[in-house]
Chain A
Amino acid sequence: MEKPVKLACRSVWKLYGPDVKNVMTQKSHSERHLELSGEQIRAAGLIGAVRAANVEIREGGIFVIMGLSGSGKSTLVRCLSRLIEPTAGEVLFEGRDLLSMPERELIEVRRRKMGMVFQQFALLPHLTVLQNVAFPLEVQGAGRAEREARAREVIELVGLKGRESYFPRELSGGQQQRVGIARSLAVEPDLWFLDEPFSALDPLIRREMQDEFLRLQSMLHKTIVFITHDFDEAIRLADRIAIMQDGEIIQTATPEELVLNPATDYVAEFTRHIPRAKILTARSVMTPSVMAGGPAPNVCAGEVEASDRIEAIAEKIEAANAPFRVMEAGEAIGSIDRQAVIDVLVGRDPVGREVSG
């Protein structure tokens, strides 16, 4: 049973250049639809920062948009939040068209339902940690006592208790981004945008912040749009990943599907160096059973869940002499043995062919 769609965009375009308006008028505006090839865009002297992007983000999941610099991922997320006006297309937030929303309503939606974390933190330098975190509530007109109480709560949540009266410049990068996270959570948004939140941090801190982020999400269950240029980070955090190249989304899938069925060589290039054990689940490695009921319990060493990652179960399967039963919803759907696990660990793909590279 899939969760309802929180945010969706349909054929969103963002073109930059001198004659954008002309290109627009060639198509009737009501269509909100453009069909242009890369050559046509170049011929018109335009730059297609986002081209025909379709995205569906479901409630409660972490949706990662991944791409290298210049791939249009930051532009896309700004189209989704309407920080940038798309050239064409449709953005639906909870079923309402975000792009035709009048300014008042948009302000209201942003105040109550959206939060955003920025790459360079975007903290106001003249305000203390407490005032920064309370700022979104101040903008809404909340009373001082109320907003400071709420701000203290979220500051504690991100582990900065005791630093309320510090100024941003007195904090380390990691701490500053914690403030940024606390601030975006202060209004309890439904939809949480994170634009490369950890890219400006050094690698050790980045990892710590990723853990922290997963911890928060396990408590809060927000709908998240997470932008990154780091494929490892994407794999680590995502429920679904959209990979962008030259303004186009070239594949949207779960991390596992990306690794197993990369849509293009470009995607395959990213997935090549990712340790498979971290991504593949028992389901994708097992030998599916032909008969209902699967292998008999007495010939197996134990049971694993179909959604378990190989990384987590490798040790016990490798140590046992017999295969394990793979269970889904209480039913055995296949078996997994030592050889299958070893294949994954040494980088052979599940069918047994040597993975190139």
Chain B
Amino acid sequence: MSQVGAGEHSPEVRSAGISLTGAPLWLGLFAMTWIFSSYGRDFSKALDARWIMKYPAGWRLPFKRDISDAMKWLVEDASFGLFTFKEFTRGIAWLIELPYDFVRAAVIDGFVVGVGSEASQIAPSLSWIAIIAVVVAIGRVAKDWRLAALVGGCFLYLAVFGQWDSAMVTLASVLISVPIGVAGGLLLGIGAYRWPLFDRILRPILDLMQTVPVFAYLVPILFLFGFGPVSALVATIIYAMPPMVRVTTLALQGVPTEIREFGAMVGCTRRQMMWKVLVPAAAPSLMVGVNQVIMLSLNMVIIASMIGAGGLGFEVLSSLRRLDIGAGLEAGIAIVVMAIALDRLSQAFAVRPTPTHDEIESLQKAGLVKRHPWSSTVLAVALVTGLVGLMLPAAQSYPASLTLTTGPFWADLVEFINVNFFDQFEAAKTFMLTYLLLPVKRFLLGIPWPWGVAIITLAGWRFGGWRLALLAGGLTLFIAANGLWGKAMTTVYLCGVSVLLASLIGIPLGVLSAENERANRIVSAVIDTLQTLPSFVYLIPVVMLFRVGDFSAMIAVVLYALAPAVRYAAHGIRGIEPQLIEAGIVSGCTRWQLLRKIKLPLALPEILLGLNQTIMLALSMLVITALVGTRDLGQEVYIALTKADSGRGIIAGLSVAAIAIILDRILAASARNARARLGLET
């Protein structure tokens, strides 16, 4: 990898007149780093200069305190004249809570008048049968009976295995945050499409929002909105909106020029152009964004159970805290089931063919009921079960006596594994810890911070010129200046080791699936499912088998971050010009030579992009693994969350973002260099 962009070809290097280039330079630097890392401590002792190893407290920037003070001022004193900031956040909370309460009432709580003991129910919620009927009908409308059966089965699973109530709480949160996220994303995306200035302001904010770990913005939200479902919903909406903004802007830009010109030529006003021409023409691409919003919302609703969202995430969290393995796994599987159902449904809608003219014509001739067969059926089912439910409770809510629980089974299974395979697991764990994790950790943590800053600045300069050098150096210094150097290095170590493993597993898998159709089908199916799962779910089996610690965190991160390594490698290999491969075959390459000498070098830029994505996913997962006891920036954010310390959380979050940005820019620059070297880009 070090060869990338380090060749003698890059012009700025030649002009800078550095004699040591390419591999020797990097080897030399690495050796020096190694020496510093090993002897830095002794060195600093000998010189009596502790500042070399530990960033002096006196030099720290007071960002943490400033941010905390600012937040405090916002909540306690800020006023916009007519109303205070507190009233403003209360207003938002009320606006979100209103529809949320309604949906919750509809799917689980029932409609109630009055408070506390005075409360009396005026209408029950939709019965479990009615809700299953709704999802089955949606599945049928979106695609076919097979999909209907799948999603119906998923929801039936939730009822039968006693996860219904928490699942409905989760569903209610998703149902509220998705429309808000989609509408907000659409409007922001339209704004960015329409006003280039707005786009320029929005873009870095979106970049930051996607790199700052989710926990980090849970902290200020918690501070502003308090513990409860509203905070969770606000966090979910903020988390799920950025992809929709991007998809919207891209989809609008992707509308064929001729369609836009047609709109102008028939004399559309700006508004007509947007809503009658561009948005409808971009609708199929927009649906991709909707699918993403749904999946991200689900992911975040689960995570946000920590700040009072309740639902399935809360079940997992509380059972993990009780070490109730069976219950945790059961709730985890419920999350998986729900994720699959929502994903398949929204994907089916995204690719749903619009009806042909005769289907529409025959519908128009039919009566009202016939025209809306699924709505009518669902309405009938809801009414009947609602009425029957008044007399027969089983029709209203799934009878508790009929629920199955797999909890003991899972608990026994995990216990069985732990008892019988303990030695093997332990051996693997110890091996990895001794020979990979700990040495890397010791090496990285030993690097004196001034040297670290220098090396990263140099790397930035080498790959992307002085601009990148300035950015990388500045961000590294920011981390050090906030006294987070050690924790940041722990993050880099965990992330680095996980990405290394994910690449070692993922890239060969990607190559394999590009070469072999059968392998491709299996690998794609697995990867697709892995990607659907909310990040939280990965923690459950890992903790059960390996308990808490760096090793467990690493495995969860590897699993979560595997997908892009596989996908980009496969995509890169498939994208190679067939003639080049034919040229290799004609020259008499063996399969191995073909792979090593033609395919891999040509796929390198794509593989680097995949690596980039892998790192981003790894970082975002790493923060969540703070729950299983790491000692890195994620833990810092998590602690800030439990203490509701906004400044601490935001600074730690920004530090994670800084690491992400440095790595992203350097890798993107080297991928660009690689592409330029291969002549794929001018």
Q: Is the CB of A170 within 8 A of B259?
A: no
The reply on A118 being an interface residue by CB < 8 A is yes
With A118-B261, A118-B262, A122-B262 as known contacts, state yes or no: A108 contacts B360, CB within 8 Å.
no
The reply on B19 being an interface residue by CB < 8 A is no
Task: Find chain B residues with CB under 8 A from A109 CB.
Answer: 267
Which of A132-140, A261-269, A288-296, A341-349 forms contacts with chain B? Answer: A132-140
Q: Is the CB of A187 within 8 A of B357?
A: no
Q: Is the CB of B276 within 8 A of A139?
A: yes
CA distance A94 to B259 in the complex (A): 26
The reply on A222 being an interface residue by CB < 8 A is no
The reply on B265 being an interface residue by CB < 8 A is yes
Q: Is the CB of A170 within 8 A of B261?
A: no
Q: Is the CB of B268 within 8 A of A120?
A: no
Contacts of A99-158 to chain B: CB distance below 8 A: 107-112, 114-116, 118-122, 124-128, 135-136, 138-140
Q: Is the CB of A170 within 8 A of B356?
A: yes
Interface range on chain A: under 10, 10 to 19, 20 to 34, or 35 or more? 20 to 34
The reply on B79 being an interface residue by CB < 8 A is no
Q: Is the CB of A122 within 8 A of B357?
A: no
Closest to A110 in B: B267
Q: Is the CB of A124 within 8 A of B356?
A: no
CA distance A166 to B264 in the complex (A): 25
Q: Is the CB of B261 within 8 A of A126?
A: no
- Chain B count of residues within 8 A CB distance of the other chain: 22
CA distance A81 to B261 in the complex (A): 10
Contacts of B331-386 to chain A: CB distance below 8 A: 354, 356-357, 360-361
The reply on B269 being an interface residue by CB < 8 A is yes
The reply on A25 being an interface residue by CB < 8 A is no
The reply on A78 being an interface residue by CB < 8 A is yes
Closest to A129 in B: B357
The reply on B434 being an interface residue by CB < 8 A is no
Which residue from A81, A125, A138, A170 sits with its C-beta under 8 Å from B281?
A125
With A124-B281, A165-B360, A166-B357 as known contacts, state yes or no: A139 contacts B265, CB within 8 Å.
no
The reply on B258 being an interface residue by CB < 8 A is yes
A-B contact count (CB 8 A): 69
The reply on A329 being an interface residue by CB < 8 A is no
CA distance A111 to B266 in the complex (A): 5
Closest to A130 in B: B357
CA distance A112 to B267 in the complex (A): 9
Task: Find chain B residues with CB under 8 A from A122 CB.
Answer: 256, 258-259, 261-262
Which residue from B256, B258, B267, B356 sits with its C-beta under 8 Å from A107?
B267
Contacts of B229-272 to chain A: CB distance below 8 A: 256, 258-259, 261-262, 264-269, 272
The reply on B283 being an interface residue by CB < 8 A is yes
The reply on A83 being an interface residue by CB < 8 A is yes
Task: Find chain A residues with CB under 8 A from B258 CB.
Answer: 118-122
CA distance A116 to B280 in the complex (A): 21
Distance in Å: Cβ of B334 to nearest Cβ of chain A: 37
Q: Is the CB of A126 within 8 A of B283?
A: yes
Which residue from B265, B268, B281, B357 sits with its C-beta under 8 Å from A167?
B357
The reply on B523 being an interface residue by CB < 8 A is no
The reply on B277 being an interface residue by CB < 8 A is yes
Task: Find chain B residues with CB under 8 A from A81 CB.
Answer: 265
Task: Find chain A residues with CB under 8 A from B266 CB.
Answer: 110-111, 135-136, 139, 187
CA distance A120 to B261 in the complex (A): 12
CA distance A187 to B267 in the complex (A): 11
CA distance A44 to B492 in the complex (A): 48
Distance in Å: Cβ of B261 to nearest Cβ of chain A: 5
Q: Is the CB of B265 within 8 A of A126?
A: no
Distance in Å: Cβ of B21 to nearest Cβ of chain A: 32
Of residues B258, B354, B356, which shows the largest number of chain A Cβ atoms within 10 Å of its Cβ?
B258
Distance in Å: Cβ of B650 to nearest Cβ of chain A: 40
Task: Find chain A residues with CB under 8 A from B267 CB.
Answer: 107-112, 136, 139-140
Distance in Å: Cβ of A152 to nearest Cβ of chain B: 15
Task: Find chain B residues with CB under 8 A from A114 CB.
Answer: 265
Q: Is the CB of A165 within 8 A of B361?
A: yes
CA distance A302 to B607 in the complex (A): 81
Q: List 11 A-B contacts (CB under 8 A).
A: A108-B267, A114-B265, A118-B262, A119-B258, A120-B258, A124-B281, A126-B281, A138-B276, A139-B272, A139-B276, A170-B357
Top-10 shortest CB links A-B: A111-B267, A122-B258, A110-B267, A136-B266, A122-B262, A165-B357, A116-B265, A118-B258, A107-B267, A166-B357
B residues whose Cβ falls under 8 Å from a Cβ of A = 256, 258-259, 261-262, 264-269, 272, 276-277, 280-281, 283, 354, 356-357, 360-361
A residues whose Cβ falls under 8 Å from a Cβ of B = 78, 81, 83, 107-112, 114-116, 118-122, 124-128, 135-136, 138-140, 165-167, 170, 187, 193
Given contacts A111-B266, A126-B280, A167-B356, 15 further A-B contacts (CB under 8 A): A107-B269, A108-B267, A110-B264, A111-B267, A116-B265, A118-B258, A118-B262, A121-B258, A122-B259, A122-B262, A136-B266, A138-B276, A165-B360, A167-B354, A170-B356
